[in-house]
Amino acid sequence: MTIVISLSLEVEARLREQAAQRGQDVNVVAAELVAVALGVKEDLQEAIEGIQRGLDDFETGRTVSFF
């Protein structure tokens, strides 16, 4: 599922800074932070790894277009 949220410039900068410090994609860090904020703890690591695999596949061209 894709959800789009608007962040203030300050929050976006802090999110990107945290992602850079972790060496992770900003989308992975954002998903993790939202899950933690919502109290969703079960299978969090598995979900993060799945997101990262999808992003890696996209970046390396390992995708299939349905159109």
Any idea which residue has 């996209």 for tokens?
Answer: 58
Say what angle helices 26-37 and 44-60 make with each other, to 10 degrees: 160
Range of the domain at 45: 26-60
pLDDT tens string for the chain (67 positions)?
778 889 999 999 999 999 999 999 999 899 888 888 887 766 677 777 888 888 888 888 887 777 6
- Does any domain span residue 2? no
pLDDT for 67 equals 65
Is the Cβ–Cβ distance between 11 and 37 less than 8 Å? Answer: no
pLDDT for 52 equals 82
- Does any domain span residue 15? no
Instruction: Say how many domains are in the chain.
Output: 1
In whole angstroms, what is the distance from residue 28 CA to residue 59 CA?
Answer: 14
- Does any domain span residue 43? yes
